[in-house]
Structure 1
């Protein structure tokens, strides 16, 4: 695509873009929270908890997502565990974090750190916008594990706003946080229908992180890159 202007800010997706996830093990997460449980009158084990979580997800979460709405993991856990009459020795934020640490396994995408460092040295503002039930605090902690948190001036987690990509309003929030004009903001993500279509509709320059060189879902203007090295080359050319 013909770029309207070089980026003054680049906003990134989280999973599948800056980091790669090696599955989501909710059973391990449930087991960790059971270690912190102080009252479990129905003797719910990790599998019973998962069954109830799946029911809540089907009844409430999926209809919300279909309408670009979101729900935080803390509210989800409140609904789940109060329904099972379970109590815990830690507060909701700590429950969220302990579940995350046990259920998830992330690693940085190849050359992500090098790319982020290059952007920072060019004076380009860097942010993150993620469709994520977990909080920006938890996401930042994960980035910190890999030495990547220092690059991000802000993190917008959809669950903290109740709306998710591809809704335009969540992109508007990210643009506002950059402090830049919309035309100067690029958005990079890996899911075409959510990240690229959403960014395009919001008036940002979409960058599709597309290592497998997939075919676009729609004929809309975007930049496609197979690696972060390729991306930084494009940014350097624009500057």
Structure 2
């Protein structure tokens, strides 16, 4: 472990705690804008269809999602979902993303993240984001700016814009190219063991497992730096242990 020149962050359950995702609430919000719903489908029925498609793709199964390493952008997913069900929406793909996401998972900053980001700025440690996410890159950047208005990330990489998903090494290598740094100078922090810890390590970055907003059981991994609050990392870096 060496002091990083840059720290890259995951978004969900790392920078932000989105709680339990409620797809029906998100779909309800979108359907309020429908110009036509030919078959009178309810939000629950639309979400059930979405869940069936996602199950076929293996997108959100905790045991399999790290195997799904090519992103299906949400504009493609929602276009198929709603049009195949006879639902017409006078909305852009980005508007659908924002309306759905704001209702399904509003999100709040994880405890202490604002202080940690301010500390990194004071220390001259650069920051960026890599997120496995189907929402558009503009929508993701807009969300992060709204949640963390006091901090500017050098770049925000959403897998929806770059095809590859963590743990695929290609998306980490993309970030390193954008940063102009070697992997030995970069830490990656995220909540998902397979996607964030294993993915970062295999790409040569130093992984940190953040568990402060974990939604899944956390197993002990003796060889992984695991933190449940940002103050621990702040303390380590302040003491020169990183």
TM-score normalised per structure 1: 0.89
Structure 2: unaligned runs, 5 residues or longer: none
Is contact 2:184-2:205 (8 Å) kept?
A: yes
* Matches for 1:125-164 after TM superposition, within 5 Å: 125-148=126-149, 150-164=151-165
Deviations 1:117-155 (A, max 9, x none): 111111111001111111222222222232347331111
- What's 2:7 paired with? 10
| 1:28 aligns to 2:25 (yes or no) | yes
Structure 1: unaligned runs, 5 residues or longer: none
Q: Distance in 1 between matches of 2:161 and 2:30?
A: 22
- What's 1:68 paired with? 69
- What's 2:232 paired with? 230
- Number of aligned residues: 234
> Which stretch shifts more, 190-199 or 134-143?
134-143
Q: Once the 2 structures are TM-superposed, how far is the Cα of residue 13 of structure 1 from its aligned partner?
A: 0.7
Deviations 1:172-218 (A, max 9, x none): 1122222222210110111222211111100001111134894435x
| 1:169 aligns to 2:161 (yes or no) | no
- What's 2:220 paired with? 216
- What's 2:84 paired with? 83
- What's 1:117 paired with? 118
Is contact 1:143-1:149 (8 Å) kept?
A: no
> Which stretch shifts more, 177-186 or 114-123?
177-186
Q: Once the 2 structures are TM-superposed, how far is the Cα of residue 57 of structure 1 from its aligned partner?
A: 1.2
Q: Distance in 2 between matches of 1:210 and 1:57?
A: 26
Q: Distance in 2 between matches of 1:37 and 1:99?
A: 13
Is contact 2:66-2:194 (8 Å) kept?
A: no
- Cα 1:214–1:96, aligned 2, differ >3 Å: closer, same or farther? closer
Coordinate RMSD, CA, aligned: 2.1
TM-score normalised per structure 2: 0.88
* Matches for 1:95-110 after TM superposition, within 5 Å: 95-110=96-111
SS in 1 for 2:18: strand
Q: Distance in 2 between matches of 1:148 and 1:232?
A: 20
